[in-house]
Amino acid sequence: MRCDLCGRFHVHDISFNELFEKPALCPTCEKRIAIEKHMQVIPVSGGTIEYHTLHENNAFIRSNELYLDHQYAHLFRMALNRKNEDAVILFLNLREYETMGRWLPYANMDSVMMLFGQYPLDLVSKLDNR
Ligand SMILES: [Zn+2]
C-alpha cells in the first residue's frame, strides 16, 4: 500500500476488520500524526486564555494540516466536555492567528477564553502587540 502522506510503499498485515478499510498511512506517518495534547494557560487582564493543541508545532504537521482535519473531532469533544459556561470558545488556525490583531480587541477578556488548534502558535507575542 502507498502512504497518503509520504507516498512511500508500506506492508501492513490486514485483519478481517480492516479488510474494507485499509490503513492509509505508513507506521512512520502514523507515529508522526499521533495526538499529544498540550495546554498553555496565558493570564491576561481580567481573565485567562487556555490554549489547547493536539500536536507540536513542526513542519510535518503544518504541511499536512488539511489532511489532519478529522482530528478536530478531539478538539470539539474537549470543548464540549468543559463545564465553563462563560468561556468563549474559538478554533484557531493560521488564518485566525494572522488576523488576531483585528478581532482580539473586541473579545471579552474578563473570563476564560478557550482557544483550540492543531499546533501551538506564538500567542504571547500577538497579545503583547495588541
Ligand atoms: Zn508515510
pTM of the model: 0.81
Residue 11, pLDDT > 80, answer yes
- Cα 94 to ligand 1 centre (Å): 24
Q: What's the average model confidence in pLDDT over 102-117?
A: 85
- Cα 17 to ligand 1 centre (Å): 22
Residue 130, pLDDT > 60, answer no
At 7 the pLDDT is: 93
- Cα 39 to ligand 1 centre (Å): 27
CB 111 within 8 A of CB 88: yes
CB 49 within 8 A of CB 41: yes
Strand bridging mode 38-44 / 47-53? antiparallel
Arithmetic mean of pLDDT over the chain: 87
- Cα 104 to ligand 1 centre (Å): 38
At 111 the pLDDT is: 80
- Cα 36 to ligand 1 centre (Å): 18
- Cα 6 to ligand 1 centre (Å): 4
Give pLDDT tens digits for 88-108: 889 998 889 999 888 888 887
Q: How confident is the model at residue 14 (pLDDT cuts 50, 70, 90)?
A: confident
Q: Which three cell numbers stand for residue 112?
A: 476564560
Give pLDDT tens digits for 46-94: 889 999 999 998 999 999 988 998 898 988 888 888 777 778 889 998 8
| Residues, CB within 5 angstroms of ligand 1 (ion) | 3, 5-6, 26, 29
Q: How far apart are the first and last CA of the chain?
A: 49
Residue 105, classed as helix, strand or coil, is helix
At 1 the pLDDT is: 85
- Cα 60 to ligand 1 centre (Å): 11
User: Element (H or E) spanning 89, and its range?
Assistant: strand 88-91
